[in-house]
Every structure is written in C-alpha cells, then in structure tokens.
Amino acid sequence: MLIKIQNLKKEYISDNVVTKVLHGVSFNIDQGEFVSIMGPSGSGKSTLMHILGLLDRSSSGLYEFAGQNVNELNDNQLASFRNEKIGFVFQSFNLLPKTSVLDNVILPLTYSNNRKNMSERAKKVLDSVGLGHRLHFFTNQISGGEKQRVAIARALVNNPSVILADEPTGNLDSKSGIQIMEILQKLNEMGNTIILVTHETFTAEHAKRIIKIKDGLIISDEPVIKQRVAQEGVLLK
Amino acid sequence: MNYLSFKQAIRTSIKALLTNKVRSFLTMLGIVIGVASVIIIMSLGAGAQSLILGQVQSIGSNVVSITPGKSDESGPPTSVLGIVVTSLNLDDLKSIEKAKDAIGVDSAVAYVDGNGTLTYKNNSYDASLEGVTEDYLEVEGGNLSAGRFFTEEEINNISKVVILGSNVKQELFSDSDAIGKRIKIKKQVFEVIGVFEERGQVAFQNYDDKVLLPIKTMQKVLVGIDYVNVISFKTNEAFEVDSVISEVENILRDNHNIKDQTGASDDFSVRSITELLDLISSVTDALKYFLALMASLSLIVGGIGIMNIMLISVNERTREIGVRKALGASNKNIISQFLIESIFLTSIGGFIGIILGIMISWLLSVIITTLGYDWVFIVSFWSIFMAVVVSGLIGLIFGIYPAKKASKLEPVEALNYE
C-alpha cells in the first residue's frame, strides 16, 4: 500500500473562526493505481491534494506514505520526501519564468541527493514527453500544452512514487488537454501511480478509480467501469 | 551544502540578479559608493599623513624643541592649544648654551613669533615675522643668497635689521638688490642685511615667506614681551638624544626653581622630533579612522538598500519560493539562495567600489602632485581587505532577514500567492 489515509481532518483557524474543510476522510491507494479525486470547488479536494502532496499538514487523522507516518516528519524531511517521492503537475504550470525548459526540469534534481548527470537525465525525460527540441527555449516562449509537458517532465525527473496532478488540463485547450491525459495514461501503463484532481467528470474518467468528495467528505469511491482512452483526435464532450 | 549545490545556488543568484539588471545595479551603487569613499579617504589620509611626517622629518631627527607649559606624555603641549604661557625666556637659552659642550648640545636658538606687513616704497607684503637668536642657521639650516646673518651684538643692541625669505624679497624688491635697503614694519624702519635662498616648505612653514629679526628687537620693538615662544636645540651626534633631553630638563628646572625631578611640576615640555612624529601620527591616525568611519556609514545605508530590495524580491518571488519548496527545496536551500544573492550583490559592488576608489585616489594624487605637493599615492592592502570583508559582511547581515523570511513561507500559501 502506497498511501493510507484514515479519518483525516483539516480545519483552518483565522480570527478565532474555525473553518472545517475536511471532516474525516479515509482511503488507500496502491502502487500503480490511477485515481481521480473529483469534486466541485469548495469541496476540499484542493486541501486534500495539498495534504497528500505534503505541502500542508492535516489537523488530525493518519496519513501513511509508503509505510511512513508523515505526521512524524519535520520540515526538512518533508522537503526531501516531496523531492524524492512526489511529482507535482499544477493547473497553472508553475514553471520558473525567464528560465530555460531544461533548467526547469533540472531544478528538482538540484535539491536531491543524486546530482550526477543532471543535464542528461533532464534531457532524457524531456525527450520522452516529446520536447527534445525545446531544451533551450524559455518557458515564456512555448505553448500552454508544451508548458504542461515540461511540468510533467519536471515531475518525472526524480522517479517519484506518485504523480499528483491538480487540474492539469484546466488551463489548456482541448487538444493539448488530450495530449496531457494521453501522457498520464501512458505513464500509468508504465507502472507510475497517478492521482488526478479535477472537477470534470470527463477528465476524471481517464483514471481507473474515482473518489468523489463533497463538503469535506467522501461521497463515493468506485472503479471506473469504462475508462476513457485519450487519443489525439477524440473530441472532448 | 556541497560544491555542486553551491554552484547551482550561485547560478540561480546570478540569473535572478540579471533578470532585474537596472534594479541590481542601483542597489549595488550604494555599496560601490560606500566602498569607494572608504578607499579614497583611507588613501588620502595615508597620503596626507606621509606628507606631514615627511615635512616634520625634514627638520632632522636630532632637533629638540622646548615649549613653555607642561604637557602630558602623549598630548599636545599647552602652548599649541592657544594658551599663552610665559615660562620660557632668554635666560633659559643662555643656561643651555653655557652647558652645551658638557651635556651634548650642538647649538640652540630661541624664537618669538609674530606677523606683520612689510612695506617698501609702494610694495607691501604680509609675512610671518620670527625673532631668533644668532645660532639660528646652525640649528635650522638654510643659506643666504646675499648679505649676512645678524650678530649677537645686534641682538643685544636691539638693532633694526631684517633677513628676508626669498619670496618676501621677490615680492618687495622683485629682481633688484635688497641689501642695505630700508623697509617698514609697523611704522618702524628696518635695514635689510640678508636674503635667504629658496627653501620651500618644511614642516608646514613656508620658509620663503619668513622674515627674521634679532629676537630682542622682536620682543621689545614689535611685540612687547620678554618671554620666548620656543627654544630649539640640535644635539651633538655623539650623545644619546634622550640623555641630552634630561640634562636640558635639569637645567631648566634649576632655572625655574623646580625641585620635583619627576617632571610632574615642569612648566615646560621638551620634545624631540621623533616624539613629535609619534604624536602627529597618532593624531592623524585618529583623524583618518574617524573619517573612514564616517564613510562607512554610507555602507550601512547601502546595506539597508540591499535589505529593502531583497525584501521586495522575496515578496515578488513568493510563488517561485512555493514552487521550489514543492519541488523539494529545504528551508536551508531557500536561505542560501537569497543569502548568496545579497552577498553576491554586495561583493560585486565592493569589487567595483575598490577599483573606482583606487582610480579616484590615484587621480587625486596626480592632481595634488601637480599642485606642487610631495604627495605619495598609497592604497594600503588593509583598506582593500577591509572593503572586501565589510561589503561581504553587509550582504550577509542585511541579507539574513529577507532570506529567513523567504524560507519561512508555507509552501501552500506561497504557491497560492497571487
């Protein structure tokens, strides 16, 4: 079991007002799964994804990642956990501006313990997402779809245990969106664990399992009966 | 942090600084100006110090002067502070001269200083007047280009004779002969009996602007006093300067009825040129470091500028910090990134400041030399070393707060920052 979540709660306190976002969610995710976390905005799915990505801490409940209770980790350990075990793909790409595609992909490597052949490793991953010809372009010189592929390359470069994609197609046109979903599905076929956060049913159905969340609670957790296969040319909606 | 990640951090910093070229340059400017002014002031201070010391040294190391009034070992003599002390007189000179062979004094001279306007026909000239005794030339050196020096008889007779510095002669008589001519000082008529060769500046006195008179003439006719301002003597080279000084002190104590042999009750102070040099060095050193301190205040202002810009930069790059943290940057990574950036900024600024400071100091030394001073261009290794260390330290000190602030950002909040 890769991820074990039990009765996870999250509340924010500001000006003495307590806002409960997660009311106690529990689920497990195994190695090699492709899971969508789906819910409308305000459902708590972003908060859940932040906690899953070790960017935020839960208020209570258990979160075990690869057998490690992450509540016991300090900030530094969390940082290296994020670096080694988690690859992020964000809706707004979050690439460094005025920086080359290659340097963006090298970035996570510079924070890791294995800093050998960084450039070669980054190039290899960029090749695999079809961006071998864009290495020295600045991130503001490439298209949105290409940006998201750079982000995927950056997420992959450290061989993470899980890829967390937060609305990865949200800022893309449908054609680029399909390309991204195709890449994610291929990565899953190759054995990567992927967690996809989205509010769209269509996008969510590219996964093998959907966890639906509403008002801070899980309302359903079911396998996808007919997984959509992303292929270029397939029209959305 | 190992070498590779250090290299990476440097690269990141350079990139960040190059992204905002104008801003980086303006921020650096504060440090550039601060470092340059410290270097320039240290250089000018050292140059001025060596000029002063060189001038004093030119008097000769075996010349000793006695000034009226007691003084501390290290402080200036009372008379220098503008207090008139009348404890030295011509009898003191007489006593020293009487014992001179026994105690190792070569020759001695007494001085009374004053100012006055000399007139000859339609020409007039303000000069510094100096009443001296007959052995003046033996102690001070210098040669006459025409005429003769005055004699002991002329001193005792209160003769109205003068010897002109070359410049005074030139101003009053231009190229014509001055010997035997009569000039007026304070409505009294004096005969010119000698003219000095050009001597230039020694110990800040322009000898060419001086007019020498018999000391008693100066005392009785022009100033109206019976004491002297200074007595100088030259020691015999076969004697230790220090032992000659203590012999002279004993003579003066005898003369002044001072029983205390410790020197605590002395109403005079005896200083050799060597002591004077030490005194001057300590005063000019203090002045030099004080000025350098003032200049380094601008470095602190520069440092605050750095901190300000780094804070803005941290704010602007909040999202970037969030991304870096999401990708695995530890707090230490973030701190070092911003610290290296600010240290880099101040070090480059410091480097440019050093170059600029040296160039300006050199330019100034050329200008000062052209003005006729015996100026030496000095930039000490220490001032450069200090500039490097201080500018680096400023980057460190003023960079720590913004860097810490950056590292403490929560990853989620930083990522969601708009």
pLDDT in tens, B102-145: 888 999 999 999 888 999 988 889 989 999 999 998 888 888 89
List strand residue ranges (DSSP E) for B239-395, in order.
268-272
Question: What's the pTM value of the predicted model, to 2 decimals?
Answer: 0.71
Asked whether the beta carbons of residue B319 and residue A98 sit closer than 8 angstroms, the reply is no
| pLDDT in the model for residue B204 | 65
Tens digits of residue pLDDT in B12-61: 788 888 888 898 898 899 899 999 998 998 899 889 888 888 877 777 77
If phi > 0 it is left, if psi is from -120 to 50 it is alpha, else beta; for residue A51 that is: alpha
**Mean pLDDT computed over A186-208:** 94
**Mean pLDDT computed over B339-345:** 89
pLDDT-derived band at A232 (thresholds 50, 70, 90) equals low
- B375, B369 in Cβ contact below 8 A? yes
Q: Shortest Cα distance from B9 to chain A (angstroms)?
A: 9
Tens digits of residue pLDDT in B380-413: 888 888 888 888 888 899 999 999 999 999 998 8
Helix (H, G, I), strand (E, B) or coil at A199: coil
pLDDT-derived band at B323 (thresholds 50, 70, 90) equals very high
Assess whether pLDDT exceeds 60 at residue A233.
no
Q: Which helix (H) or strand (E) holds B385?
A: helix B381-407
Which residues on A lie below 8 Å from B323 (Cβ)?
Answer: 94-96
- Calculate the average pLDDT of chain B: 87
Q: Shortest Cα distance from B323 to chain A (angstroms)?
A: 6
Distance CA A86, CA A164 (A): 7
Q: In what order do the strands lie in the sheet with A193-198?
A: A86-89, A162-166, A193-198, A34-38, A209-214, A217-223
- B347, B35 in Cβ contact below 8 A? no
Assess whether pLDDT exceeds 70 at residue B2.
no
Distance CA B120, CA B218 (A): 19
Which residues on B lie below 8 Å from A108 (Cβ)?
Answer: 327-328
DSSP state of B178: -
Distance CA A188, CA A182 (A): 10
Asked whether the beta carbons of residue A55 and residue B415 sit closer than 8 angstroms, the reply is yes
- B60, B234 in Cβ contact below 8 A? yes
Q: Is the ipTM of this complex over 0.90?
A: yes
Assess whether pLDDT exceeds 90 at residue A72.
yes
Task: Pick A79's closest partner by Cβ from B19, B325, B410.
Answer: B325
Task: Pick B5's closest partner by Cβ from A88, A110, A158.
Answer: A110
Say how many CA atoms lie within 13 Å of A221 toward its Cβ. 8
Nearest CA in chain B to A85: B328
Tokens of A133: 């010809």
**Mean pLDDT computed over B162-171:** 91
Task: Pick B328's closest partner by Cβ from A79, A94, A98.
Answer: A79
| pLDDT in the model for residue B80 | 60
Asked whether the beta carbons of residue A108 and residue B327 sit closer than 8 angstroms, the reply is yes
Asked whether the beta carbons of residue A82 and residue B319 sit closer than 8 angstroms, the reply is no
B392-to-A232, B341, B385 alpha-carbon distances in Å? 56, 11, 11
**Mean pLDDT computed over B198-223:** 85
| pLDDT in the model for residue A186 | 93
Which residues on B lie below 8 Å from A111 (Cβ)?
Answer: 5, 324, 327-330, 333
How, if at all, do strands B205-206 and B201-202 pair? antiparallel
| pLDDT in the model for residue B302 | 87
Beta pairing partners, A18: A13
- CA dihedral in degrees (B412, B415, B416, B418; nearest 10)? 150
Tens digits of residue pLDDT in B146-155: 899 999 999 9
Tens digits of residue pLDDT in A149-176: 999 999 999 999 999 999 999 999 988 9
Distance CA B251, CA B241 (A): 16
Tokens of B273: 């040129």
Which residues, at least 6 apart from B351, have a Cβ–Cβ distance to it below 8 Å? B388
**Mean pLDDT computed over A28-54:** 93
Asked whether the beta carbons of residue B15 and residue A76 sit closer than 8 angstroms, the reply is no
Q: Shortest Cα distance from B330 to chain A (angstroms)?
A: 5
**Mean pLDDT computed over A195-202:** 93
Residue B76 vs residue B369, higher pLDDT: B369
Assess whether pLDDT exceeds 90 at residue B69.
no
Assess whether pLDDT exceeds 60 at residue B1.
no
A interface with B, Cβ–Cβ < 8 A, is 50, 53, 55-56, 75-76, 79-80, 82-84, 88, 90, 94-96, 98-99, 107-108, 110-112, 115, 154, 158
- Calculate the average pLDDT of chain A: 92
| pLDDT in the model for residue B112 | 92
Closest CA to B161 of B184, B135, B192: B192
| pLDDT in the model for residue A15 | 86
Which residues on A lie below 8 Å from B4 (Cβ)?
Answer: 110, 115
Which residue type, as a one-letter code, is found at position B15? K
Distance CA A186, CA A178 (A): 12
Distance CA B235, CA B139 (A): 9
